[in-house]
Chain A
Amino acid sequence: QLQLQESGPGLVKPSETLSLTCAVSGVSITSGTYYWGWSRQPPGKGLEWIGVIYYSGTTHYNPSLESRVTISLDTSKNQFSLKLSSVTAADTAVYYCARNVEIWGQGTMVTVSS
């Protein structure tokens, strides 16, 4: 059964880079016409789409974050990752990884604070 699990530091200092990983089990990230994405949700607020990477490696990012975000695949570990640079308090949120539109991870809370 397909499962996604986010992991990474729960606390990041302002101006540093947020790095998260989504471990995929139950299917290869290079199989089929899947895409793998990230979204986030600030405390008490709605959902914001960050970006997506296709099995081919093609990426699409939210223009509001594009200058700071990178999503990549690690086929050797069957996982994909999110890097968000120059973070501020506004980047504090629960970060979710997902496959296509159907399967979401449990989410991981990241706080940006000194």
Chain B
Amino acid sequence: EIVLTQSPDFQSVTPEEKVTITCRASQNIGSNLHWYQQKPDQSPKILIKYASQSILGVPSRFSGSGSGTDFTLTINSLEAEDAATYYCHQSSSSPWTFGQGTKVEIK
């Protein structure tokens, strides 16, 4: 099973600050890595698919990079509405797995 390890687990950030969340895979997963945002009592919402592909309707301040085992989600100029938990998810090999989540709080 491929283990995804996110860092940090928690981040407290001021508005307009840049946020970087990393996801490290225990094996090479190519670009089969996706990023989600989840707010309380809501379903996960996809932000980035296949490491760096943008999603229609997602603000351009969200971007993804990486391949192989190391991936990054970047939020440029954080807004108050970005307070949420962020998850990475790999679909390279079964069982697909999720990272443990990174909670982003607005100061």
Alpha-carbon gap, A102 to B27, bound state (A): 23
A47 interface contact, C-beta 8 A:
yes
Known contacts A96-B44, A107-B43; decide if A101 and B98 are in contact (CB<8 Å): no
CB contacts (< 8 Å) of A80 on chain B: these are: none
Tell me, rounded to whole Å, the shortest Cβ–Cβ distance linking B88 to chain A. 10
**CB contact list, A80-114 vs B, under 8 A:** 96, 101-102, 104-107
Q: How many A-B residue pairs lie within 8 Å, measured between CB atoms?
A: 45
Q: Which residues of A contact B94 (CB under 8 A)?
A: 60-62
Taking a contact as CB atoms under 8 Å apart, the answer to whether A49 and B101 are in contact is no
Which residues of B have CB within 8 Å of A104? 43-46
* B97, A49: Cβ atoms closer than 8 Å: yes
Q: Which residue of B lies closest to A97 (CB)?
A: B43
Interface of A, helix, strand, loop or mixed by DSSP: loop
Residues of B within 8 A of A48 (CB): 98
Chain B residues within 8 Å of A26, by CB: none
**A47 touching B98 by the CB < 8 A rule?**
yes
> Is A106 within 8 A of B97, CB to CB?
no
Please, how many angstroms separate the alpha-carbon atoms of A62 and B43 in the complex? 20
Which residues in window 39-60 of A have CB below 8 A to B?
Answer: 39, 46-49, 52, 60
In the bound assembly, the distance between CA atoms of A104 and B46 in angstroms comes to 9
Q: Does B34 contact A (CB under 8 A)?
A: yes
Mark interface residues in B43-83 (1 if CB within 8 Å of A CB, else 0). 11110010000010000000000000000000000000000
- B83-107, CB under 8 A of A: which get 1 and which 0? 0000101010011111111000000
Instruction: Identify the B interface with A (CB < 8 A).
Output: 1, 34, 43-46, 49, 55, 87, 89, 91, 94-101
Query: What residues make up the interface of A, taking CB atoms closer than 8 Å to B?
Result: 39, 46-49, 52, 60-64, 96, 101-102, 104-107
